[in-house]
Amino acid sequence: MKIYRSDQYPLPLPPGHRFPAEKYPMLYRAVAQFAADLIQDTPLASDAELLAAHTPEYLAKLHNGALSAAEQRVIGLPWSAELLLRSRASTGATLAACRAALAEGCGVSLAGGTHHAFADHGSGFCVFNDSAVALRVLQAEGAVQRALVIDLDVHQGNGTAQMLADTPSLFTFSMHGANNFPFAKQQSDWDIELADGCDDARYLAELAGALPVLLAQAQADLVIYLAGADAYAGDRLGKLALTPAGLRARDMLVLDACRRFALPVAITMGGGYAQPISDTVAIQATTVQLAWVRFA
């Protein structure tokens, strides 16, 4: 098992910006307390790797700082050279985590899960779609034939669904809030929509019922698991009502199912916007620790 950090590439934001960039160094420090020997610096995603899933025109705009004000508003982050570098790092970490999973059973990115980015534009705090890039690269290399994205961020993985829709061998599953962003949903291969206020019992019953069918149907060589912390009841942007214990049980269901099916799993962090942000960090550190117990 390997764990990849990208917090060494900071993301400068205006004062008061609502994106919690500080969670990434906090998460690194939390994970280092139990798995410091497994943590590695991330490789940066190359242009060739990014172009496996994104358009040349979009990449050129990012290179040249040519995103319009409207395009930056859709992303929700102001363009900067540091934003581009950080986005390369986050995407590179997911690809590296996938390679580690294929070699050793599990890989983790302490960032990633940027599932709102589309081929030709960013959206929802996401510049590049790390899952789409990683799976396109690995398929082109022949490292995987089939793969499954299990997206349990509270927001639908709309960019991933759209970008992989034309490839039946790359199966997308998203379980998310019905009344949350993005308000115009895309069609995943399998979507489960949850009502506001969904609690642990309802959530875990839905997931436990879906997982065996999902894994059998996808017939995957690799799973990417977006372990978003934003289904937490204390999340500012979540609208669901899961407790930390419920989120821990969610992670155990996914990780134990992957082990039972002998499926390599790459884990990305997805969203988390709790107040205080230390609640998000604790939830995501627990996700990594559960993987560490099972795969290290």
H helix intervals, the chain: 23-35, 47-50, 56-64, 69-75, 81-104, 130-141, 158-163, 200-218, 244-260, 277-295
Sign of the C-alpha dihedral, residues 262, 159, 122, 60?
positive
Helix axis angle, 130-141 relative to 81-104, nearest 10°?
Answer: 50
**Ramachandran region, residue 51 (left: φ > 0; alpha: ψ -120 to 50; beta: rest):** alpha
State how far the Cα of 127 lies from the Cα of 87, in Å rounded to an integer: 6
CA distance 37 to 34: 9
212 Cβ contact partners less than 8 Å away, ≥ 6 residues apart: 257
Mark whether 116 is an active-site residue: yes
For residues 280 and 273, what is the distance between their CA atoms, to the nearest angstrom? 7
User: Which residue in the list 54, 115, 116, 155 is annotated as catalytic?
Assistant: 116
pLDDT tens digits, one per residue of 201-237: 999 999 999 999 999 999 999 999 999 999 999 999 9
Per-residue pLDDT of the chain (296 residues; tens, 9 = 90+): 999 999 999 998 998 899 999 999 999 999 999 999 999 999 999 999 999 999 999 999 999 999 999 999 999 999 999 999 999 999 999 999 999 999 999 999 999 999 999 999 999 999 999 999 999 999 999 999 999 999 999 999 999 999 999 999 999 999 999 999 998 999 999 999 999 999 999 999 999 999 999 999 999 999 999 999 999 999 999 999 999 999 999 999 999 999 999 999 999 999 999 999 999 999 999 999 999 999 98
Sequence-ordered list of residues with C-beta below 8 angstroms from that of 266, at least 6 positions apart, any chain: 94, 97, 98, 100, 101, 106, 107, 108, 109, 134, 222, 223, 224, 225
pLDDT score, position 176: 98
- 81-107 burial by CB neighbour count: b if 16+ within 10 A, else e? eebbebbbbbbbbbbbbbbbbbeebbb
Q: Which residues contact 163 (CB under 8 A, 6 or more apart)?
A: 53, 118, 119, 129, 132
